[in-house]
Amino acid sequence: MLVDTEFSGRLHTAGTEAENAEAAGYEAIWSTDSANDPFLPLAVSAERTQRISLGTGIAVAFARSPMTVAQTAWNLQALSGGRMVLGLGSQIQPHIERRFSMPWSRPAGRMHEYISALRAIWACWQDGTKLEFSGEFYTHNLMPPHFNPGPVTGGPPPVFLAAVGESMTRVAAEAADGILLHRFTTPRYLRQATLPALAAGRRGRKTLSPIQVVLPVFIVIGDTDAELAAGRAATRKQLAFYSSTPAYRPVLDAHGWGELQPELQSLTRQNRWSEMDALITDEMLTEFTAIGSPEQAAKVLQTRFGGLIDRLAPTAVYDLRPGLRNRLATALRS
């Protein structure tokens, strides 16, 4: 099981964070599409590192055209010497329509076609194949030489797809090179829903090439009661936010907690955000999170996910004291 990490989200420290992650032995570092563009930290980090993979975890696909994403990922693949990993996600309908003002329909089918469009564009640039892609959602059939960047060393970057539900998991299995599981995942949901859907999707795959399973997972680590208390409080807030989202209710349902979702969603609509975390019980927190010293948390993570996934990305939603994250990585590798 490979061990990855994530950027903090602060763009001005991205290059240093990538350098430190590489020095600590992490296999990859992932950037999120939240308050900052997810591609910029990778551009900042590409020339300051030599080995570590640089990935978007995730970039919102439906907020961007396939051509736009294809070009940005191609540039980063060239800049990094072949270390770019394009992680895509669909986001949910309100964000696509109301935040990005972009169309939304049949997300699984649209995403399958989106990835096919990317590969058609890249085949044009890498192999000289004529660009003639025509689908239900996207059409790309114009590529004058002036706009063709030409081939890159190592070829097109791998495409990883974020998935929670069965439909998008099947798309990942059929069309992508890897699946980025949501951090709002438990071992029970992984075994009951995700892995069976992944296996079913692989049966429909045209090639037998392997697909990597990447799991970001919540951690609360520290050596003092105060550190652990701060981590628990921050993680409860994040879990409450995710638990309010209808698309993530199946994870709660797997544990009999499904009725909590509409209750939390109601609080968001009333703008009562400060009241939400109190509804996240200790049992829920423990199920979603590895808690303890870095060495204790590593044992929890190995017990829960060893043998189930290919890559683990421990994620803290609060600032960790320097050294704690690297101690966790060392303990996981040992």
Q: How many domains is the chain built from?
A: 1
Is residue 295 in some structural domain? no
Is residue 19 in some structural domain? yes
| Amino acid identity at 115 | I
Give the tens place of pLDDT for each residue, 59-87.
999 999 999 999 999 999 999 999 999 99
Give the tens place of pLDDT for each residue, 110-157.
999 999 999 999 999 999 999 999 999 999 999 999 999 999 999 999
**Alpha carbon of 296 to those of 214, 221, 302: distances in Å?**
21, 9, 10
The reply to whether the predicted model has a pTM over 0.75 is: yes
Host domain of residue 188: 2-223+311-333
Is residue 245 in some structural domain? no
Q: H helices within 80-194, ranges in order? A: 93-94, 107-127, 166-175, 187-189
Please state whether beta strands 139-140 and 133-134 pair in parallel, antiparallel, or not at all (unpaired). antiparallel
Is residue 230 in some structural domain? no
Distance CA 93, CA 231 (A): 31
Is residue 251 in some structural domain? no
Is residue 238 in some structural domain? no
Is residue 93 in some structural domain? yes
Q: How many helices (H) and strands (E) would you count in the chain?
A: 14, 13
Which CATH number covers residue 42?
Answer: 3.20.20.30
Are the C-beta atoms of residues 267 and 275 closer than 8 Å to each other?
Answer: yes
pLDDT at position 309, please?
Answer: 93
